[in-house]
Structure 1
Amino acid sequence: MELGELKSRAIRIHDLYDRLNRRERGRVWTRNEFMLGFMGDVGDLAKLVMAEEGARDVPGGRTALEHELADCLWSVLILAHRHNVDLELAFRRTMAELDETINAQLARYEDTR
């Protein structure tokens, strides 16, 4: 799946959650609440990564790790959408900046040999 397809699918699920939350709670999540939910997902992901590395016991194994990674990706896509960020453009720009910065740092190490 391409990023655009992932984003479209994420937004469809987001819209379903909005419908469900309106019916159950009379309101939808704010951008801040999405961020807090994402932080919770990252905490769950950290525990599952530790379990994958053998540092802790967490039920669910590999399936739970894959699920949580997908949840985190969904949250990032929705946060970008809710904040009107072109994630593909931002990712390309950031990776180009990092590529340039890291290569410049590596070149300095090679020049000092």
Structure 2
Amino acid sequence: MNYKELVRQELERLEEETDPMLSVVNMIDAFLAVVIALLLVLVNSPFNPFTKEDYVLVKNPDKENMEILIKKGEKLERYVKTQSVGEGKGVKVGITYRLEDGTLIYVPEE
């Protein structure tokens, strides 16, 4: 090898290392990896709108801003805690007892 060939090879190597398209391709690969990770998180989330499962979610239990989200099929219901007392007409259907350990037991009336 002569000096000119060595210089030409070194210039080709430097040109390959500083190719701006390589950095663009690397950015696209990183972006695709992030998108795939976010899609996997969405698929495994209980808030996935495409899931067939029903669920109940309680946000901030026993606090002033407590919310209950109920998903049945494609319907999503949201209940927000308020200070108002419910009222209406109804029939007594049973009694609920709270045990010393905090467990609630419901006894239906016959």
Assess same fold via TM > 0.5: no
TM-score range, shorter chain: under 0.3
TM-score (normalised: structure 1): 0.24
Which is higher, the Rg of structure 1 or of structure 2?
2
Higher helix share: 1
Highest relative contact order (Cα 8 Å, sep 6+), 1 or 2? 1
TM-score (normalised: structure 2): 0.25
